[in-house]
Amino acid sequence: MSIRTLQGHRPIVGNRVMLDPTAVIIGDVKIGDDSSIWPLVVIRGDMHRIRIGARTSIQDGSVLHITHSSDYNPGGYPLEIGDDVTVGHKALLHGCTVGNQILIGMGSTIMDGAVIEDRVVVAAGCLVPPNKRLESGFLYVGAPAKKARPLSEKELNYFTYVAGNYVKLKDRHLEQWRLDSAQK
């Protein structure tokens, strides 16, 4: 894996975090405990901060970036991701705020200034436009993303299950890596 310091900012990684060897993490990035960063993920905190909560899974091929502060964009847009979030394969999160207990489907794009409140499902392939707010407790679909329906009780309970499942999976990977390096 490539962890790179930029302009005095070195990524900070919590306890029991799995960072795949092919992931690239640059600059002002903090990753919470028990999170997992899977193959080919790029997390680039080069002009603003990126914060990733605990038990959050960023899956294969996802790109996480920010927008810098300028005359056109006073304050810029950091990227904030909460706890118990599952970001599906090849998602793009750019300068947005993602709450807790969220499922972001594969291939989704979340743009600058968008806010996803807690306990939301963003379906695969969604485009969440700049500055859009997704309300807690709903499924969103489409491009642009539209509220489809309220989440069922079963779906609302799924967030902690899926986050816990990825914690177990990353623990299996970490144990295998430990065993592999002990055999060398």
Distance CA 166, CA 32 (A): 14
Taking all residues of the chain, what is their mean pLDDT, rounded to a whole number?
A: 97
* pLDDT 10s digits, 57-93: 999 999 999 999 999 889 999 999 999 999 999 999 9
Instruction: Record the pTM.
Output: 0.96
| 1 confidence band (pLDDT: 50, 70, 90) | low
> Which residue has 């997704």 as its token pair?
134
> Which residue has 């970490």 as its token pair?
174
CATH of the domain at 76: 2.160.10.10
HEC per residue, the chain: CEEECECCECCEECCCCEECCCCEEEEEEEECCCCEECCCCEEEEEEEEEEECCCCEECCCCEEECECCECCECCCECEEECCCEEECCCCEEECCEECCCEEECCCCEECCCCEECCCEEECCCCEECCCCEECCCEEEECCCCEEEEECCHHHHHHHHHHHHHHHHHHHHHHHHHHHHHHHC
Distance CA 135, CA 48 (A): 26
Please count the structural domains in the chain.
Answer: 1
Distance CA 136, CA 170 (A): 28
Supply the range of the domain harboring residue 12.
2-183
* pLDDT 10s digits, 95-129: 999 999 999 999 999 999 999 999 999 999 999 99
Please state the φ and ψ torsions of residue 79, each to the nearest 5 degrees. Answer: -115, 120
- Residue 95 tokens, joined: 């300068």
Please check whether residue 30 is in contact with residue 11, taking contact to mean a CB–CB distance below 8 angstroms.
Answer: yes
